[in-house]
Structure 1
Amino acid sequence: MKRISILLLLILFATPAFAEVVEEEIKDYYSIAGVTRTEILRNLQRRAPYKQAGSFVPAFTQTDLKYQIRLKQQGGRCGVDKVTVFLNLTYKYPRLAQHQSTNTRLWWRDIIKHYTIHEEIHGAISRKWAKELDRTLLSLTDLNCETAWQTIKARASYINRQLQKEQQEYDRITEHGQKQYRYKGHL
């Protein structure tokens, strides 16, 4: 029993510390005025947080991905001892500012549900890449100490580019959620 305990302690101390992803999620809203569907859609187009080439995106997810690292030096080499990845997700959604008829409220509820599904997938993509950043950085164990930070920054930059690429591809496939049924991704 004593040998097993010693063996377990050796295994625990031989492996790097477990990394972590600290996530913060914020839901932010902007007001949309209008009583009829036409008024609401007109104001939605005017107030949308993201516009490009004549189209508008009424809901939006902003991802902010950062990290902190503690290095350890052993035998003239450096390695990542601890990683903390910080993922901040801010979802921005429209909210009706006026009271509408029951039919209009039901119509609006369906629209918001559609936007929410689309944006939550953006959040899931960001979570996936935050975990990948966490895993990738923690795996850096045998680095030249003089260039360790350059290597770390390069790996983090690569992960961030992959995150942006997947987000853009998701929006391209779904046309920013207008054709959500096209998305067959697995997260």
Structure 2
Amino acid sequence: MKAWIVLASMSIAAFATQADAKPKITEKTEYYQISGKTGIDLLWDMNRKGPRQGFLTKAIAQTRYEADFKGDMVFENGVCRISGGGVSMKITYIYPQPREKLSGDMLRRWKLFQADNIRHEKVHGKIARELAAVLDKKIRSFATRGDRRCGNALAKLKRETMAIYNAYEKKQNDFDRQEHREGGAVDKSVAVLVAKR
């Protein structure tokens, strides 16, 4: 259960007017198929087929989000700013889904487990939405003194947006550490799935 962010590069293209003073956010949900009749079997298949988290590990569920920056850097009266700027973000939630129909107690435990997956990933999505709003405000309000080429201004904007990214990545990681600690929410959810409680 991990958020995964894709950093998109700054593109120079018209995007929005100041009247659209908010980020454009889209969300979708994807599933990957798992097999098993018991909680242990399902968990093993999730560990085998789940979305990649880092180079070697897999996640049970995941939230991916990609931010795209748009706008024209313009020079007016000694000031560089973004004209028609804004941010769009795509958020994708990825969850496991049993291939075979479950029944009885196994179905009950699966529903509890999946509900907690969704709860967890929606928090990652909420943090991603907050990130999009802060980045969007930064892009729309950015202005700094510069020369006609605005090279230094663009470098400054990239530094400032990366600092925002880093701050929100820390929020995502802090949330995961809290949830994944021994005896935490993820442990309890897995224990329900494998009938250890």
- Normalised by the length of structure 1, the TM-score is 0.78
Is 1:169 matched up with 2:171?
A: no
Counterpart selection for 2:103 from 101, 107, 129: 101
Is 1:142 matched up with 2:147?
A: no
Alignment-derived partner of residue 71 in structure 1? 73
Alignment-derived partner of residue 17 in structure 1? 18
Match runs of 1:33-44 below 5 Å: 33-44=35-46
Per-residue deviation at 1:138? 1.9
Q: Is residue 71–residue 81 contact of structure 1 (8 Å, CA) maintained in 2?
A: yes
CA deviations on 1:134-167 (whole Å, 9 max, x unpaired) are: 1122222233143221122111111111221211
Per-residue deviation at 1:54? 9.5
CA RMSD of aligned residues (A): 2.6
Q: Is residue 171–residue 177 contact of structure 1 (8 Å, CA) maintained in 2?
A: no
Pick which of 82-91 and 122-131 moved more. 82-91
- Normalised by the length of structure 2, the TM-score is 0.74
Alignment-derived partner of residue 159 in structure 2? 154
Moved over 6 A (4+): 52-55
**What secondary structure does 1:121 align onto?**
helix
Q: Partner letter of residue 127 of structure 2?
A: I
Unpaired runs of at least 5, structure 1: 1-15, 182-187
Per-residue deviation at 1:171? 0.6
Alignment-derived partner of residue 127 in structure 1? 129
Is 1:32 matched up with 2:34?
A: yes
**What secondary structure does 2:123 align onto?**
helix
| C-alpha separation in 1, matches of 2:92 and 2:183 | 21
| C-alpha separation in 1, matches of 2:39 and 2:160 | 47
Identify if the C-alpha distance between structure 1 residues 132 and 65 changes in structure 2 by more than 3 Å, giving closer, same or farther: same
Per-residue deviation at 1:168? 1.0
CA deviations on 1:92-144 (whole Å, 9 max, x unpaired) are: 10001001222211111111000000000000001001100111222222331
**What secondary structure does 2:101 align onto?**
coil
Q: Partner letter of residue 106 of structure 1?
A: R
| C-alpha separation in 1, matches of 2:182 and 2:62 | 11
Identify if the C-alpha distance between structure 1 residues 137 and 99 changes in structure 2 by more than 3 Å, giving closer, same or farther: same
* Percent of residue pairs identical: 23
Identify if the C-alpha distance between structure 1 residues 178 and 114 changes in structure 2 by more than 3 Å, giving closer, same or farther: farther
Unpaired runs of at least 5, structure 2: 1-16, 187-197
Q: Is residue 59–residue 92 contact of structure 1 (8 Å, CA) maintained in 2?
A: yes
Per-residue deviation at 1:81? 3.0
| C-alpha separation in 2, matches of 1:47 and 1:87 | 26
Counterpart selection for 2:48 from 46, 49, 61: 46
**What secondary structure does 1:34 align onto?**
coil
**What secondary structure does 1:142 align onto?**
strand
| Bigger radius of gyration | 1
Pick which of 134-143 and 170-179 moved more. 170-179
Q: Is residue 144–residue 153 contact of structure 2 (8 Å, CA) maintained in 1?
A: no
